[in-house]
Amino acid sequence: MKAVLIWPSLPLFLLFILPRLHALQLCTNSMAPVALKTPLPFCGYTGSSCCNATEDRELRRQFEALNVSDTACAGAMRSITCAICDPYSAELFDTGARLGTIPILCNSTVSATSSLARVSNQSFCKQVWDSCNNVTIQNSPFSGLRLPVSSARLNDIWHSEADFCETFGGPSGEDTLCFDGNSTSFSRSTASPNPKGLCFERIGNGSYLNMVAHPDGSNRVFVSNQAGKIWLATVPEHGSGGTLEIDESDPFLDLTDVVHLDAQFGLMGLAFHPNFTTNGRFFVSYNCDKLQSTSCSGRCSCNSDVGCDPSSLGSDNGAQPCQYQAVVAEYTANSSSAAPSIATSANPQEVRRIFTMGLPFTNHHGGQILFGPADGYLYFMMGDGGNKGDPFNFAQNKKALLGKIMRLDINSIQSKCESQINDLGLWGNYSIPDDNPYTVDRGLEAEIWAFGLRNPWRCSFDLERPSYFFCADVGQEVYEEVDLITKGGNYGWHVYEGPNLYIPPLSPRVNMSLSCINPIFPIMGYTHSDINSTMGSASITGGYVYRSTIDPCLYGRYLYADLYGRDIWAGAEIPENSGNYTSTLIPFSCAKNSPIPCDAVAGSPLPNLGYVYSFGEDNRKDVFLLSSSGVYRIISPSHCNYSCPLENTTGTGSSAPGQSSSARRTEGLLGRVVMLLFLLLWWMF
């Protein structure tokens, strides 16, 4: 009997104590809310919403079918019916045992305070119970959750407010969000202390384009250069005075014989399978020249559906239709003598050609690849294909893969028969995830996850909030932007450059009506007049949300830079989970005890970073800057005489805000879960 009494309540209790690491503006279909031009007539949402006017009319019909005669109860049921339109509905309906039919109703009997605390402190769950418990509700969304009982009145199923709110109620706290009958809002919270400056140490002289942490969790990383070589390197301990241990004469893999190297061509991306330590699979994104390589052939991005002719723009436009290809290929570190986790070299023979696409011009083709930490799918970032202003409107055309972020399932290779049946128009050897946004329309490219990008240059997922997917998108003339990528999101190019309207200068430009798109504007960015460099702005280089404990004042801030290496920004979401971002230029310096001395910019105290090609992140969550002058690691600010009140300068380590509130809280919660499971087993046996 004891086990029977405990077991039903355990999942609900765990629901309240386990950490919830996302509160991103997302709808229940995983897509971003849309900007409303006018308020929804029935549900009343303004600004952004997960419903359009058609869905609003359907919700009115559903509400009227409830046939609620009591005015107070009708008001509560109307707000619950419309909760699906809330821009945070994915969070509100993340309800586990509630089957997603009812949002989590705010329950004041469960206390919680944090940056996520709702403005309203009332118990909406109590309000619903008090006004509706004895009211007949036809087609009630509450009924049927306690089978086999079904009733039109709440008190026929739940015998008290406590009983009802145990099922449907929850707190709005640091890691949870609940519905209080109104559109989601947040209280202001005090941000962590602003960083006074960024302190670097130079640990390597090599110039690399990619850095990927070794999947085995060690202090090793893979680095690659644009020419086509990949090395395995060891990152030194903090304070050791050591440098990046790498033998450039002995690469992990050398692909220079297949990679075409030029200004915007080369080995562009590197990603290791989540199960690399057991299966040895990894993937490389590079460019090839079909005039130089017989294996360089694939479907042309200027396909008949898109209908482009780059030669129509004139002879001096860099057009080389499909001579150059964007390739994603699979390789393996498996061998008969070594497990993948300890392999120091890889087989240079390609295992499988995952993707190949011919390019219309010689620039703007992105090329980064990475695995989604939550879904395990491969994301492939592709620019608009080149030339000024995207004259063929590739980025907005969902029949083209240029100007897109693609999402591919490389674990399930679709057969030729399946391809013919589903007519997915595959460009290689992979399959399409079922929840990609355009799988239902055979006229569109099902690979697309997001679109409307000019040239995404370095994207990353937040380690602690994996639904937050950041991409820096290189601007054309005025604005460099950082976007928060969501399923099916349209990021505006070439109708918009950042938040500004853009008029394409070249013919045959395709002008689109503003009413035809619903763009998601950048969360951060900078104009070309905002920067310090006397050379002007070059292009944005995206980075990471800083999650290391080494500089606690940087914790939770997204770092990005301009290519010219004079300007670095730190952006923050304030309050956390609000969707409101601010970013500021941050001073930076090089530690005097840097293992490799930093060169100085002539006539300036700034270290000479050269061109900032990319950022990197290792298994300790340290962030690195990869530039033409070397590899730089962010270290404690005190090494550059910057102050951070949270830094522990006693030598026992730093205490980052996330470590004290998030990581430590998670550790404590997991400990409580273990204790609960132990008590459960004790009661059962």
Domain count, the chain: 3
Amino acid at 79: S
DSSP 585-619: E--EEE-TT-SBPPPBPTTSSSB----EEEEEE-T
Q: How far is CA 319 from the centre of its chain?
A: 33
What is the bridge-based pairing of β-strands 105-106 and 169-170? parallel
What is the bridge-based pairing of β-strands 369-371 and 378-382? antiparallel
Distance CA 437, CA 448 (A): 7
| Cβ neighbours around 503 below 10 Å, total | 10
pLDDT at 188: 41
- Give the dihedral sign, CA 349/354/357/362: negative
Q: Nearest Cα to 407, choosing from 381, 426, 440, 441?
A: 381
Residue 183 domain flag: no
Together in a domain, 9 and 56: yes
Together in a domain, 679 and 636: no
| Cβ neighbours around 320 below 10 Å, total | 17
Together in a domain, 206 and 252: yes
Together in a domain, 349 and 301: yes
Residue 71 domain flag: yes
pLDDT at 287: 97
Distance CA 16, CA 178 (A): 11
What is the pTM for the complete model shown? Answer: 0.82
Together in a domain, 361 and 264: yes
Reported as a single tens digit per residue, the pLDDT across 475-529 is 999 999 999 999 999 999 999 999 999 988 876 666 666 777 889 999 999 998 8
Distance CA 431, CA 129 (A): 48
pLDDT at 46: 82
Together in a domain, 621 and 667: no
Residue 647 domain flag: no
Reported as a single tens digit per residue, the pLDDT across 351-362 is 999 999 999 999
Together in a domain, 344 and 490: yes
Which residue, chain included where needed, has tokens 């033409």? 628
Residue 650 domain flag: no
Q: CB of 130 within 8 A of CB of 108?
A: no
Identify the domain containing residue 165 by its residue range.
2-170
Amino acid at 301: S
3-class DSSP state of 409? strand
Together in a domain, 137 and 203: no
Edge-to-edge strands, sheet with 281-289: 267-272, 281-289, 324-332, 347-358, 299-300
Together in a domain, 164 and 206: no
Q: Which residues of the chain fall short of a pLDDT of 70?
A: 1-23, 94-100, 108-122, 144-151, 172-176, 183-192, 303-305, 307, 310-320, 336-338, 415-426, 507-513, 532-537, 577, 649-685
Q: What is the CATH number of the domain that holds 381?
A: 2.120.10.30
Together in a domain, 222 and 161: no
Together in a domain, 124 and 219: no
Together in a domain, 608 and 663: no
> Phi/psi of residue 78, each to 5°?
-65, -45
pLDDT at 441: 79
Residue 175 domain flag: no
Q: CB of 395 within 8 A of CB of 495?
A: no
Residue 119 domain flag: yes
pLDDT at 428: 85
Q: Nearest Cα to 199, choosing from 660, 610, 593, 654?
A: 593
Query: How many secondary structure helices (H) and strands (E) does the chain include?
Result: 11, 32
Residue 486 domain flag: yes
Residue 563 domain flag: yes
